[in-house]
Every structure is written in structure tokens, then in C-alpha cells.
Structure 1
């Protein structure tokens, strides 16, 4: 397998033609995210069956041929923990990847290890040793050292071999469809980060009133525009917690705005007129145009959700151990509470619980719903087992009519 660092446009274009013919490629990136709105792409690494190369994007300025390859549905792109690679694809060609496979996700669907780092994954699946990552490297500096290039290439060198083994294993287990569904979901979630309703991910925003949510939405959109225009990280423009605080206080004057804790910094004072304009616009909205975001349940119900969620967590952990699949990939504490709200309290707002959909329903959907319905009893079978609990259907549920 040939290895090199590409700094010439014609060589890069030739590489893209090679990848198009190969129809499958391992892909990774090195980037710096501390100083810009979107992470700054500093290096691209590729590995086919024949070639393992890095591309310097500071020297090769037209990468469009690659992004179009990544977005088509003909070329399989194999990554490890590939959310950032999806983001780069969206940034540079405005489209998501067409056929993306993630070996980190795939491993969690054939074992209980998720998320597993690249070094550990290489060691487990192919029995080889990968170099440690250059975590403290400033990938923007040039020239790159031979050691930097070697470490970067190692991040893709074993990826296709790992995927080959995982693919065969998942096919044998009947879980290849699970993997493809999870890859698609990861891409959808990454795309959603840039949607107009991305402000809903602000911590505590669901606890605000509709009017306060309108303020948070306007300020969030202003922050995103500013971050894009100035090419600075959004958090450097205005912290998330300050957006929530401004939404609650709804200041009407610069003095009132700057009296908010931590809002008296020079850059915030300069932004005060724009912020006040956003807040005033949200306050002036008619009620019909306010956000309609479901609020959290009352405290008593929330406590019950947590208790039932913890109990379901035992059943989920036991089932995942039985099936040898990673629990964090199957369902989170939030997923369990969503199932409780939907099934116990008939709170059917939004999408149905993820735990009752697609491949997750195969793993645990019926079990968890039966537990909530009281059709399942619990006992300890083998305390020494990695799944010591047995969930059994109650006799009254299996008995025929008298």
C-alpha cells in the first residue's frame, strides 16, 4: 500500500478518480475548532485497498471533487466516529454523505463496547497496534513533520480491514440493517444541528414560557449569524446560559441588559443594541407566532418518570448483555423516560419513543412495554452471570381461559 502526502492539485484530482473507481475508501480528518465558527480543516486522510494518502488542504485548494464523491450514493465512505466528517461534507458541498459507514457504531452493534476509541478498536478487531493520536498537535502549522503525517495516516490505515470483519459479523448476526439504520440516523442528527430549530437544544429552554422561548430563539439566531459573519465560535459570541438568562429577564435598556450577570463585558456592551432589538422583536410577536414547545411535566410526574426509567434501565441493561449489544447505543436515560411518558402517562407529543422503533424494537421494545404493563416478573437467575436477571412472563398472562 503506497503512502504519501499530496500537495498538488493534479495529484489530488487523480486520487479522486482512483477513489471513484475503488468505490470504497476510509476517510478521516484533522482539524482545529477553537478559533472559528466551523472547525478549520487542516488535513484529509484516505485509504483504499491500494493507497493510503494524506491531502494538505492549504496546498490543494479545490477539494470539490472529493466532496461530490462523498455525497454521491456510489462511493462507500468508512469512518471512525465520523460526525465531524459529516459536518465538513455539509459545509463544503451543502449535502450529507450518500453512503457512510462508521466502524465505531458498527462495533457497538456486535459487542457491548461503545464508543470505542480507534486504538482499542484496531487492537480488538484486527489484532494490530495503532499509534496514539497527536492530540496536542496544532494541525494548522506548516510544514507538517513526517511523524505528524505518519500518525495521521495511521488513523485510516486499518479502517477497511476492520469494516470487512465487522460487515461479515453483522451479516451473520442479521444486524447489518441495524448498522445501516444507525449510520443514517447519525447523519440525520448531524444535519439537524444546522436546522432553524437548532435553538431547541439549548439547555433548560423547555422550561421557559413560550414568550421567553421566542426571545431565546431570536437571540440564538442572531448569535449564529454573528458567528458565521465573524468566523468565530458561537460560544465566543454569547454563551448558551446567557441566552437563557436574557430570555428570562427580557431587558429593555442597555443598562438593564448589562446588569445581567456576566453581561458587562466590552464585547457584550457593543452587541447590546442588536440584542435589545432581537428581544424587542420577540416580545412584540403575536401569541399565534410564539413557539409551541412541550414543557416538562410536573415535579411529581418527573420523579415517577425517573423511578420507572431506572427500573426499565435494569431490564434494558440485562437484555443488551444477553444480546451482546452496547446499551448506550440502544437507548439512553432520556429514551427510557420518553417511553414512560408515552406508555404510562399517554403523553403522545412528538415522535413515538425511539425504543419502540426499527431495530431497537427487536432488541427491547416488547420487553420494556411488557414490564410497564406488569406482564413481566423479575428474578435473579445466576448472580455470577454478566446478565444475572431473568424477566419472565407472569403465569396469569400465559394461562388460558378458565
Structure 2
């Protein structure tokens, strides 16, 4: 293996970045990573963009460079694959800072899982597995917005992209050999599509635990409150639960208070919330209560009943056996929600169906078998 450049190269001038971008636009792939801070804010604050191109590890300073148009062009160049590891948060950094996400992307964590190296493998572990090279992680919780960055921070940031292109090459070779490269490309494309779609504020109530316990008018209140929290958290740039906690939203939806003193008695409600947002919350609740029931969200499904336990166990066993045959972790193929969606789809009339995640390559590999098993199980219960 040739010597891999590891020394950090600091880039804090637009002209130098533009020169590098001209070169990167000619490459088939580049390694990309970000460092950011988000301890007290809703949005991540970009502190560093790292690029590895096989010739160097470049650390781009967003606090010094005011024109990122050339870099944006590279990130959107369809001919240049951006190689990242576990990139969901990185995509958010790009979206927040540049108003766009990189595309196309090859996520080495997804690739490693499908190649059979383990589910949700960290970057350091991946490099150790593929290359037997230790990668220190001592600066993970550093203050990346400080300037100047310390020497250990600079080295850490450089190492985060130093080995990525080599890992990409090794994984791509393995995936081609076992016919799974298209699986990774599809999962990465789906991930980007989801990131591009963004979040529907009106669907945020679905993420609230125990929302299934609420009736339709109560869900209408919860829907309005969670949409308000999402909008306000973004506008004020504060974490959702710092603005108002999840269980407080659920309590308001359930009890539908009409006075401030009723809100003040709910767990997690602070004097600050009452003073700044109490009247607004009461107004949201009152407006939601005016909705006719047919205009309210449908009730959410309850937890699966015990009588579905045998089917669920059979489906999970089949998925585990399939995963063992393929030499990959079961979670790569089917997740908890996938099993539950399949079981729920046939509870009323045994007309089982697969959700979106079990379409594509997963349908052929495991989905059709799960579907057949569910149908056979249902026939045996009649």
C-alpha cells in the first residue's frame, strides 16, 4: 500500500479553495467529513470541512472563507462521488451551512454493513478492520469553533478523511465481488432523497411516545403543538426539548388546559415557558379543539397484541437465518419497524404488504420470503 498523506493542510483563503476545487472536480471520488458544534442550538454550527483527495488532507475553515460557491459546485457535481462515513449529521451541516447536501454520496458505514463487517460500525473500527490501522478518537468532543485549533485537533480532523478513500476502494471491490454494490448505491440514494425531502412539521406528532394512547381530537392538539414547537425551535435556534419537553406536549394534548394555572401544574412546565409562550399554547389548544373529529388525525395503531407474537417471532427467525446466510447483521436487512409494519398490514384481512424500506433489493433478498411466511401463517390460523 502506498503512503497515505496524513498531515493537515489548513485552507482559509477563497482563492486557494477555488484552486483545489478545480482539481477535485476532475476526480472520480473525494473523501469528505465535517466538524461542528451543537450543544445548545437547534442547528449545527459548521466549524470545519475536511477533504481527502489522495494527495492531502485539507481542512477548510468556514469561519474565514466567505465564498463557498466553488466548493458547493464540487459537492453537487454528479461525476464526483463524495465518500463519507455515517453521514446523516454531516448532511445536516451541509444543508444548514450551504442550503444543499452533497450528491452523489457513498456512505462507508452503510457499505461496511452490507459487505458484512458489522452494523453501525464506527469510523475508527472500520479502518482497523479493513486496514489494521489505529485511528485515535481523543478529540471527538473538542471545541471545534475555537481558533486556532490545537495540533491534536488538526491531526484528528485530518485522519478522519486520510483513510476514507482507501476504505472506499476496498469496500467497493468487496461489494462488486459479492454483487452488492447496487444495494449500497440504492441505500445511499434513498438516504439523500430523505434528506432532500426534509421534515414535515405536521408529521412531528408521530414521533411522540405514547401518542397512540390519544383519541383523534387529542391528536389534533398534539399535532398542532408539535408543529409549533418544530417551527419555534428552528426560529429560535434552540433544541426542541430545551424549548418544551415532549411529555409536556403530550400532557397538554391529553388534558387540553384552558388556563395558565392548569398548564403550570404539568410536569416540565417552567416559569419561562409560561411567561413567554403560555398564552400561545392555550391559543393553539383552543383552535385545535374547534376541529370536527373527521378533520382530526386518525388514531395511531396500538402496540402489537400478544396473539401476533408467534408470527413476529417467525418473521424475525427467518430474517436472522437469511442474514446468517448472507454473512451480514440482521438489522441491515430488516428493522423492528419493518417487522411491525408487515404484521400490522395483515391484521384486518390478512392482506399483508411490505413497507417502502423492504422494497427494492431487500424485497428480493428477504422481503418476499417474509411476505410468503406471513401469508402462510395467516392461512394456518383459519
Alignment of 1:157-196 (within 5 A): 157-196=162-201
The corresponding residue for 1:150 is: 155
Deviations 1:294-339 (A, max 9, x none): 5214x6x522334422332122111101111221121112211211
The corresponding residue for 2:207 is: 201
The corresponding residue for 1:319 is: 322
The corresponding residue for 2:251 is: 245
Deviations 1:324-378 (A, max 9, x none): 12211211122112112224544779x8324641111222123323333448xxx
1:252 shift after superposition: 1.1
From 332, 343, 352, the equivalent of 1:340 is 343
1:41 shift after superposition: 1.1
TM-score by length of structure 1 reads: 0.85
Alignment of 1:2-401 (within 5 A): 3-111=8-116, 113-199=118-204, 200-292=206-298, 295-297=300-302, 302-343=305-346, 345-346=348-349, 352-354=354-356, 356-374=358-376
* Alpha-carbon separation, structure 1, partners of 2:278 and 2:124: 48
Q: Secondary structure at the match of 1:272?
A: helix
* Alpha-carbon separation, structure 1, partners of 2:195 and 2:357: 20
1:133 shift after superposition: 4.4
CA contact (8 A) 1:26 1:48 kept: yes
* Alpha-carbon separation, structure 1, partners of 2:62 and 2:274: 35
Q: Secondary structure at the match of 2:286?
A: helix
Change (3 A) 1:291 1:24: same
CA contact (8 A) 1:45 1:156 kept: yes
Change (3 A) 1:191 1:289: farther
Structure 1 gaps, min length 5 = 376-402
CA contact (8 A) 1:109 1:179 kept: yes
CA contact (8 A) 1:320 1:326 kept: yes
1:198 shift after superposition: 4.0
Deviations 1:209-248 (A, max 9, x none): 2222221222122222222222211221111221111111
CA contact (8 A) 1:102 1:183 kept: yes
**Number of positions where the alignment pairs a residue of Structure 1 with one of Structure 2:** 371
* Alpha-carbon separation, structure 2, partners of 1:8 and 1:16: 13
* Alpha-carbon separation, structure 1, partners of 2:131 and 2:232: 46
Q: Secondary structure at the match of 1:21?
A: coil
Stretches (4+) displaced over 6 A:
none
Q: Secondary structure at the match of 1:109?
A: helix
Deviates more, 1:235-244 or 1:199-208: 199-208
Structure 2 gaps, min length 5 = 378-382
Change (3 A) 1:38 1:307: farther
* Alpha-carbon separation, structure 2, partners of 1:280 and 1:61: 46
TM-score by length of structure 2 reads: 0.89
CA contact (8 A) 1:354 1:360 kept: no
Q: Secondary structure at the match of 2:57?
A: strand
Q: Secondary structure at the match of 2:354?
A: coil
* Alpha-carbon separation, structure 1, partners of 2:107 and 2:212: 32
CA contact (8 A) 1:44 1:57 kept: yes
